[in-house]
């Protein structure tokens, strides 16, 4: 049987070959040569759409859309395939979202790519969502960058700043590598998740820094074969699987990463109500440093964000085969390891190995277990309750 890591490696090699092919063969479309204005005021969305349509739908070899140095305001835009060749968006300058709140309410995207294959976003530039003017005024605000039905894509060397909502959403995508990016928003900014992945497979998030007001990375239902490596999170709500009320997340690995000052560390959360049968399985969290983290290791199957639960409901999502290996640092709460599982679907085959978490304010940390079975190996600080 071929391992998940081997398959991911093969997908990455294929993607790198695609990227080199894009850069070697594609025509460059400098937006300044097509009517764009870099004054931070002119709406460049029409120019971007026209250049995209020309390079994607008319040019057999695909194209490179270049935003050079400068500040380009772009209103919400959808860029759609299927293209006649590989595509590349190269951002060297700054793209700014509109600051007007009313024009953003109810719009689910700022820049959206749909049905695109063999696609690269890079260039060292900045995507500025200008979210401060909108935070707290509505929950129906746009994601900075949406990838929907995209395959064989790469996002690298881009900074995302102050999205009005989530910074990056990956939906129904396959073979996507996100690397060497920086995502930044204040720790108290609402709903500014870093990256959300749902209904997708073979996703890699590597060598990046995420500082936001919500989850740094959230893996949502029907996602599988997800690899997160060398990612720093903080501030934020940590690395989350969920919340999940149905569906599955399988074959997810988070490794060699760190969290500082976050609300949670590594978390699996399922809704108590409403809840349908689902599955979270074959999950590994390992080699992770926690610094002043509120809940370093947590499974919460009684998540009830809308306060509509009576306390009698029980999650129907089965959690099993979850490994926590070599996790160390400091907890802001005394309960550093908390497994609050479902009474009707207890957590199975949970493994703790080499855990060393100290209570930041002194005294011993502790563990809490409800409806869970598993085993502990090696050092266990706090003492395991498995």
Question: Measured at the alpha carbon of residue 245, what is the angle toward residues 240 and 248, in degrees to the nearest 5?
Answer: 70
Q: What is the DSSP string of 344-371?
A: SS-EEEEEEEEEEEEETTSS--EEEEES
**Torsion angle defined by CA atoms of residues 262, 268, 274 and 277, in that order, rounded to the nearest 10 degrees:** 170
With bands split at pLDDT 50, 70 and 90, how would you rate the model's confidence at 272? confident
Residue with tokens 């550093």: 336
CB atoms inside a 10 Å sphere around CB 69? 9
Q: Distances from the Cα of 142 to the Cαs of 40, 89, 98, 164, 369, in angstroms?
A: 19, 20, 11, 6, 39
Q: φ, ψ for residue 384 (rounded to 5)?
A: -70, 145
Q: In the predicted model, is pLDDT for residue 90 greater than 90?
A: yes
Q: Which of 343, 353, 359 lies closest to 386, judged by CA?
A: 353
pLDDT in tens, 233-268: 999 999 999 999 999 999 999 999 999 999 999 999
Residue 101: per-residue pLDDT: 75
β-bridge partners, 239: 217, 266
* Predicted TM-score of the model (pTM): 0.93
Q: Which of 200, 237, 235, 319 lies closest to 271, judged by CA?
A: 319
The H or E element spanning position 160 is strand 159-161
With bands split at pLDDT 50, 70 and 90, how would you rate the model's confidence at 135? very high
pLDDT in tens, 289-336: 999 999 999 999 988 877 667 677 889 999 999 999 999 999 999 999
Confirm if 274 and 305 have CB atoms less than 8 A apart: no
Contacts of 75 (CB under 8 A, 6+ apart): 43, 45, 98, 103
Residue with tokens 């092919």: 21
pLDDT in tens, 4-52: 555 555 555 555 555 555 444 579 999 999 999 999 999 999 999 999 9
Residue 79: per-residue pLDDT: 97
State yes or no: cis peptide before 141, omega within 30 of 0: no
Confirm if 167 and 212 have CB atoms less than 8 A apart: yes
In whole angstroms, what is the distance from residue 220 CA to residue 33 CA? 41
Residue 10: per-residue pLDDT: 52
Residue 105: per-residue pLDDT: 76
Arithmetic mean of pLDDT over the chain: 92
Would you say the C-alpha torsion 141, 240, 161, 126 has a positive or negative sign? negative
82 is catalytic: no
Residue 304: per-residue pLDDT: 81
Burial of residue 7, with CB atoms counted within 10 A of its CB: 0-12 exposed, 13-18 middle, 19 or more buried: middle
More confident residue, 172 or 303: 172
118 is catalytic: no
Residue 139: per-residue pLDDT: 80
Residue 39: per-residue pLDDT: 97
Please report, for the chain, how many H helices and E strands are present, in that order.
2, 30
Residue 2: per-residue pLDDT: 46
Residue 369: per-residue pLDDT: 97
Count how many Cα atoms sit within 13 Å of the Cα of residue 93 in the half-sphere of its side chain: 20
Residue with tokens 């960058």: 145
Q: In the predicted model, is pLDDT for residue 218 greater than 90?
A: yes
Q: Which of 263, 244, 95, 266 lies closest to 187, judged by CA?
A: 263
Catalytic residue among 122, 193, 237, 300: 237
Domains of the chain: 1-210 (2.160.20.10), 238-386 (2.160.20.10)
Return the DSSP state at 304. -
Residue 371: per-residue pLDDT: 97
CB atoms inside a 10 Å sphere around CB 310? 8
pLDDT in tens, 341-386: 999 999 999 999 999 999 999 889 999 999 999 999 999 999 999 9
Residue 1: per-residue pLDDT: 43
Catalytic residue among 214, 215, 291, 300: 214
């Amino acid at each position: 049987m071929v391992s998940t890591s081997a398959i991911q490696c093969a997908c990455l090699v294929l993607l790198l070959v695609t990227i080199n092919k894009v850069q070697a063969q594609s025509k460059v479309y400098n937006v300044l040569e097509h009517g764009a204005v870099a004054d931070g005021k002119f709406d460049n969305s029409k120019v971007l759409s026209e250049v995209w349509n020309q390079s994607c739908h008319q040019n057999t070899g695909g194209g490179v859309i270049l935003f050079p140095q400068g500040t380009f305001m772009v209103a919400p835009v959808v860029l759609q395939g299927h293209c006649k060749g590989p595509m590349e968006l190269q951002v060297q300058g700054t793209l700014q979202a509109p600051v007007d709140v009313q024009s953003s309410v109810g719009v689910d995207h700022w820049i959206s790519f749909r049905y695109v294959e063999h696609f690269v976003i890079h260039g060292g530039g900045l995507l500025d969502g200008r979210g401060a003017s909108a935070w707290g005024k509505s929950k129906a605000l746009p994601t900075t960058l949406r990838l929907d039905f995209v395959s064989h894509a790469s996002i690298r060397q881009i900074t995302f700043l102050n999205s009005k909502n989530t910074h990056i959403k990956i939906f129904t995508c396959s073979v996507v590598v996100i690397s060497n990016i920086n995502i930044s928003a204040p720790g108290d900014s609402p709903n500014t998740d870093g990256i959300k992945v749902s209904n997708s497979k073979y996703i890699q998030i590597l060598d990046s820094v995420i500082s936001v007001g919500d989850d740094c990375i959230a893996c949502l239902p029907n996602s599988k074969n997800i690899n997160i490596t060398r990612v720093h999170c903080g501030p934020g709500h940590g690395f989350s699987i969920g919340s999940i009320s149905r569906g599955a997340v399988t074959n997810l690995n988070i490794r060699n990463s760190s969290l500082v000052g976050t609300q949670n560390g590594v978390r699996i959360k399922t809704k108590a109500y409403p809840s349908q049968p689902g599955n979270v399985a074959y999950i590994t969290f390992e080699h992770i440093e926690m610094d002043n983290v509120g809940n370093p290791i947590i499974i919460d199957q009684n998540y009830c964000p809308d306060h509509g639960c009576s306390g009698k409901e029980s999650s129907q999502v089965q959690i099993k085969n979850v490994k926590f290996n070599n996790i160390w640092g400091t907890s802001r709460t005394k309960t550093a390891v908390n497994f609050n599982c479902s009474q009707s679907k207890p957590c199975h085959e949970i493994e703790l190995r080499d855990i060393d978490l100290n209570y930041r304010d002194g005294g011993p940390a502790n563990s809490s277990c409800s409806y869970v079975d598993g085993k502990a190996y090696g050092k266990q600080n706090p003492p395991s309750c498995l």
